[in-house]
Amino acid sequence: MYFVYMLANKTRKVLYVGVTNDLVRRVYEHKQQMQEGFSKEYHVDQLVYYEQFDEVARAIEREKQLKTW
């Protein structure tokens, strides 16, 4: 399984879209600020939306579509 997920900061003014094969682990990593980058800098750690896919290619395609909005 693959997931496209959307996180927001506390004020819901900043959004982050990503792809993972382990949604629980990835959200935990965001909450613990385990990686440098956009989500750590903007404190984006609240899961607000996700979709599930059987194929990674379809998940990546959907991630790209969401990022163009």
- Give the domain extent around 22: 2-67
Long-range contacts of 18-26 (CB under 8 A, 24+ apart): 18/63, 19/56, 19/59, 19/60, 19/63, 21/56, 23/47, 23/50
Tell me: pLDDT of 21 over 90: yes
Helices (H) and strands (E) in the chain, counts: 3, 3
Tell me: pLDDT of 69 over 90: no
Dump pLDDT digits (tens) for 26-68: 999 999 999 899 989 999 999 999 999 999 999 999 999 999 9
Angle at the Cα of 17 from the Cα atoms of 11 and 23, rounded to 5 degrees: 100
State how many domains the chain has: 1
**pTM for this predicted structure:** 0.92
